[in-house]
């Protein structure tokens, strides 16, 4: 088995991408992340696209539904990101198909990655959907989308992907009426994760559909077990928060776990900061926890879950564990 440091070096060395394609399969199958998964599941290396970013042929859109919204999305994206930041967006946009008819009842929009077609029922939801367009590809039988990877057998990372997709939609298009409506809990959690990891890295992993890159980043703050469990807990939430099934006990357990993880990540971030002494670290941690708690109470969707009731207790437990 190769050492972790070597695996990490390979994963970080983006200029050596071609070599990595050949090596990645072997490396990733031997990595510790995958030892934690069941036999059928593997975290794959990010999809590599050959550098063929052409000028987008907007003429193709002449008859497409919602074309002005798509133009607007592209304009905003090109204002904030370079073409190299958005390889999947430029790969998909020229041939993107649109439809106003959506069969799945619960969806406001739906992006079919295989057909590169976006279905829009509620127009403001198009911005959320276009972020999926900007971060998805069907490659070697795997659907890579943001931080998620899905095959016919299983999927991982849907929860963190939906939360981050909505976070981006709200950040760049939140001033439009009707945006800011979906996945409030997942979005809130991803916002906290971004505070630790940083915007630039997070968007880079997202727009390159690089789940493994994100996981490597998580490992700077968490054990591999914890980071995998965080992703799986978010998957549980996205699958069950929005159904009518009553699973509040399980949901509470997952939310409790996730918030403990958020505290751990933030504490580790403070520990890494050499400019802080122990006292300052504790002060900052207490401030972070109080702010987090305060903003949690402002989100309507959290109110129906009891995990908030003993939040204060959990904070104290964590502060004690952090004491040496």
Find the binding residues for Zn ion in span 117-176 (CB under 5 A). Answer: 162
Taking the least distance from each CB to Zn ion, the nearer of 172 and 288 is 172
Residue reference for tokens 């809990």: 185
Strand pairing of 117-120 and 142-145?
Answer: unpaired
Q: What end-to-end distance do the CA atoms of the chain give, in Å?
A: 35
Compose the 88-117 pattern: x for residues touching Zn ion by CB under 5 A, - for all others: ------------------------------
CB of 128 to Zn ion, least distance (A): 5
Instruction: Give the interface size with Zn ion as a residue count (CB under 5 A).
Output: 1
- 90: Cα separation from own chain's centroid: 20
Taking the least distance from each CB to Zn ion, the nearer of 188 and 266 is 188
CB of 292 to Zn ion, least distance (A): 25
Judge whether 107 and 99 are in contact, CB under 8 Å.
Answer: no
CB of 83 to Zn ion, least distance (A): 24
CB of 158 to Zn ion, least distance (A): 9
Taking the least distance from each CB to Zn ion, the nearer of 162 and 194 is 162
CB of 165 to Zn ion, least distance (A): 5
φ, ψ for residue 3, nearest 5 deg: -70, 155
Taking the least distance from each CB to Zn ion, the nearer of 169 and 228 is 169
Residue reference for tokens 């050959």: 50
CB of 318 to Zn ion, least distance (A): 32
Q: In 1-39, which positions are buried (b, 16+ CB within 10 angstroms) versus exposed (e)?
A: eeeeeebeebbeeeeeeeebeeebeebbeebebbeeeee
Taking the least distance from each CB to Zn ion, the nearer of 162 and 170 is 162
- 278: Cα separation from own chain's centroid: 32
Concatenated DSSP letters of 129-171 = HHHHHTTEEEETTEEEETTEEE-SS-EE-HHHHHHHHHHHHHH
> Which H helix or E strand runs over 224?
helix 224-240
CB of 3 to Zn ion, least distance (A): 38
Give, in order, the Cα–Cα distances in Å from 269 to each of 172, 256, 262. 27, 20, 11
Taking the least distance from each CB to Zn ion, the nearer of 136 and 192 is 136
Taking the least distance from each CB to Zn ion, the nearer of 162 and 235 is 162
Site residues (CB under 5 A) for Zn ion?
Answer: 162
């Amino acid at each position: 088995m190769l050492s972790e440091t070597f695996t990490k070096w390979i994963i970080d060395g983006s200029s050596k991408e071609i070599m990595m394609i050949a090596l990645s399969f072997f490396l990733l199958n031997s990595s510790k992340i995958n030892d934690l998964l069941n036999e059928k599941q593997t975290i794959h290396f990010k999809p590599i696209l050959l550098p063929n970013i052409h000028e987008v042929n907007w003429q193709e859109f002449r008859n497409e539904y919602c074309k002005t919204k798509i133009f607007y999305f592209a304009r905003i994206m090109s204002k904030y990101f370079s073409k190299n930041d958005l390889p999947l967006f430029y790969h998909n946009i020229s041939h993107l198909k649109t439809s106003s008819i959506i069969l799945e009842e619960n969806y406001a929009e739906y992006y079919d990655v295989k057909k590169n077609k976006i279905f829009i029922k509620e127009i403001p939801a198009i911005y959320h959907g276009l972020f999926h367009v900007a971060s998805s590809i069907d490659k070697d039988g795997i659907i890579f989308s943001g931080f998620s990877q899905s095959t016919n057998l299983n999927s991982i990372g849907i929860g963190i992907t939906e939360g981050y997709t909505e976070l981006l939609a709200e950040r760049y298009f939140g001033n439009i009426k009707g945006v800011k409506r979906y996945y409030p809990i997942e979005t809130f959690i991803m916002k906290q994760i971004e505070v630790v990891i940083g915007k630039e890295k997070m968007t880079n992993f997202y727009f390159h559909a690089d789940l493994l890159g994100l996981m490597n980043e998580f490992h700077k703050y968490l054990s591999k077990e914890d980071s995998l469990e965080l992703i799986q807990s978010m998957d549980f939430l996205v699958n069950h928060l929005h159904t009518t099934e009553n699973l509040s006990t399980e949901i509470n357990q997952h939310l409790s776990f996730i918030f403990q993880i958020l505290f751990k990540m933030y504490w580790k971030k403070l520990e890494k900061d050499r400019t802080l002494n122990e006292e300052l670290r504790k002060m900052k941690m207490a401030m972070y926890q109080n702010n987090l708690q305060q903003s949690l109470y402002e989100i309507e969707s959290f109110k129906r879950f009891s995990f908030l009731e003993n939040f204060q207790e959990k904070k104290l437990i964590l502060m004690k564990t952090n004491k040496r």
